Structure 1
Amino acid sequence: MSRAKSADRVFGIWAVLVFIFLFLPIVMIIIYSFNDGRLLVSWREFGFGPYEAAFSSPQIMNSVWVTLRAAIGAAIVATALGTLAGLALARHGGKWAPWLVAGLAIVTVTPEIVDAVALLPWFVMLGQDFYLAPFNDGIVRLIVGNTLFATALVSFIVRARFEGLDAKLEEASADLYASPFTTFRKVTLPLAMPAVLSGALLSFTLSLDNTVIASFVQVSGSTPWPVYILSSLKTGLRPEIAAMSTVMIVLTIVALALVAIVLRRSGESTADIARTMAA
């Protein structure tokens, strides 16, 4: 056996072990979501009781609904702002561009605890001192908190997408007397769609587990799912937590599959889809 084949086999085995290490905890959560017992770590028997308990629990369903609303809102806002910022950086950069890139980079590397500590008094001041009622709403607070980091990610993804594309199509549209808005809607946006969709997906999935910021900015009645799980640790995790977590995993996979299908129909190759999904 040649050295090249031996190396390929070793790296193949190593890759399998890495994937097992990464996905085994998720597989265990899925298995224990069918544990029809009182505590998650104490297996009693196989059953669908945890799923029935999860969907019949008002507290669990309310926390999941709050998380989904905040994640969808954050994905919409972050995608809109990040797309425009990425387009501006790639197509209309100037002396201000390095400062914007630096600002976005700072957002991506700032610890979440710092953002949380900064956002809490800011929301209190806006809501209480300046009487801006929306900032007293828990969903609005969660959307803003989740949008900060997601906007920076979308900006970099869209910018990278446009830097690899020729601007001749947009210039041709302008030469044919199309308005800037028409050029953006019919030429620029379709070109950026793979990056926009992947950015929206990343914004959505990252917002699902934003625990640190959510635990600071939440208000009564708008407890998101990650904070609910964190509070459940005090009394012991129950199987219905694993059941709803499994549902969230399936939801994420479905969202990923939908974006992949859209990208495939837009003419993207498998390699392009993988690179886009991986940001």
Structure 2
Amino acid sequence: MATGRKRSRLSNALFHLWGVLVFLFLFTPILVIVVYSFNTGRILSNWKGFGFEAYTSAINNEIIVNSVITSLKAAFLSALLATVLGTLGGIALARARKGAWWAIGLTGLLALTLTTPELVDGISFLPWFVTLGVDWGFSPVNNGMVRLVISHAMFSLAVVTFIIRARMGTVDKSLEEAAADLGANAWHRFKDITLPIAAPGVMAGALMAFTLSLDNTILSSFVQQPGYTPWPVYIFAAVRVALRPEVAAMSTIMLVLTLVALGLLGLVLKKTGESASGIVKTMAGS
């Protein structure tokens, strides 16, 4: 028994060590970028000294600021669109009868969008937008922001839908049925019962959609237009020449903003009575 306990303690220690090494491997590059954002040199990899010149240069650079604003606008609008459609789709799938053909078809279609490479999405969206805007004269899709919002929303719609479906799948339908028995119509049942229950999943899905839009590089490269260059595409173009500290500085700012948004979401979910494990499950869509 003593030998077995020693082996168990040793295996636990090794697993903990392995976990620490994995996290170091994943987060060390991010830490390096944050540190080098304070580099006073002209090139990111050439450390000259510690300072805040990169942050002031990034904030005063009109091209960088415009690309960041474009990314934030596209992320917010696409997250809003994906959240509205994903909430409706997720609730519908959670309330669908078992074996319903439309639910199976919709689930398969959404799963297909998750597994389709972004390169294929970009190649598909670009000629489609050109056909709608140029050949058919549907002028709204000729706007660069509209293209970014539509393509990003369609990319993240499946994620939001599955998060909402997972959230609503564990909810007892008797609450809505009881409200119906008491005379509440469909709108009041949705507004007063269904939506508050789904709210943690809705917020988690919205944040996921927002983050996916900020990270989207390949799809944005295909659908972007002059004057609507998002931040990831700007970075991708800058890497070809030389990565400057201003890019690391602005990336650090956006990282901090993302972490603040994640912290606020966790706080809101905790206020709704979610446990720590419940918050993680909501964020993971399980």
TM range (shorter): over 0.9
Q: 1:219 aligns with which of 208, 222, 225?
A: 225
1:137-188 Cα shifts (integer Å, max 9, x gaps): 1111001111112111111111111111111111111111111111101100
1:222-279 Cα shifts (integer Å, max 9, x gaps): 0000010111122200000000000111111011011111100101011101121233
Task: Give identity over the alignment, percent.
Answer: 51
The aligned counterpart of 1:64 is 68
Equivalent-residue separation in structure 1 for 2:155 and 2:204 (angstroms): 15
For residues 166-205 of structure 1, what are the structure 2 equivalents within 5 Å? 166-205=172-211
Equivalent-residue separation in structure 1 for 2:151 and 2:74 (angstroms): 9
Secondary structure of the 2:156 match is: helix
The aligned counterpart of 2:53 is 49
Equivalent-residue separation in structure 2 for 1:97 and 1:203 (angstroms): 22
Equivalent-residue separation in structure 2 for 1:185 and 1:149 (angstroms): 27
For residues 107-146 of structure 1, what are the structure 2 equivalents within 5 Å? 107-146=113-152
Secondary structure of the 1:234 match is: helix
Deviates more, 1:84-93 or 1:196-205: 84-93
1:194-226 Cα shifts (integer Å, max 9, x gaps): 111110000000100110110010111000000
Structure 1 runs not aligned, ≥5 long: none
Q: Give 1:4 deviation, angstroms.
A: 1.8
Q: TM-score, normalised by structure 2?
A: 0.96
Secondary structure of the 1:178 match is: coil
Point out 4+ residue stretches in structure 1 off by more than 4 angstroms: none
Q: Give 1:2 deviation, angstroms.
A: 2.1
Q: Give 1:95 deviation, angstroms.
A: 2.1
Q: What is the aligned-residue RMSD (CA, Å)?
A: 0.9
Does the 8 A contact of 2:91 with 2:164 survive in 1? yes
1:115-145 Cα shifts (integer Å, max 9, x gaps): 1001001111111122222101111100111
The aligned counterpart of 1:264 is 270
Does the 8 A contact of 2:163 with 2:284 survive in 1? no
Does the 8 A contact of 2:163 with 2:205 survive in 1? yes
Secondary structure of the 2:229 match is: coil
**Which amino acid letter does the alignment assign opposite residue 119 of structure 1?**
F
Q: TM-score, normalised by structure 1?
A: 0.98
Does the 8 A contact of 2:163 with 2:283 survive in 1? no
**Which amino acid letter does the alignment assign opposite residue 206 of structure 1?**
L
Equivalent-residue separation in structure 2 for 1:22 and 1:275 (angstroms): 22
Q: Matched residue pairs, number?
A: 279
Q: Does 1:76 align with 2:80?
A: yes
Secondary structure of the 1:233 match is: helix
Equivalent-residue separation in structure 1 for 2:8 and 2:156 (angstroms): 42
The aligned counterpart of 1:27 is 31
Structure 2 runs not aligned, ≥5 long: none
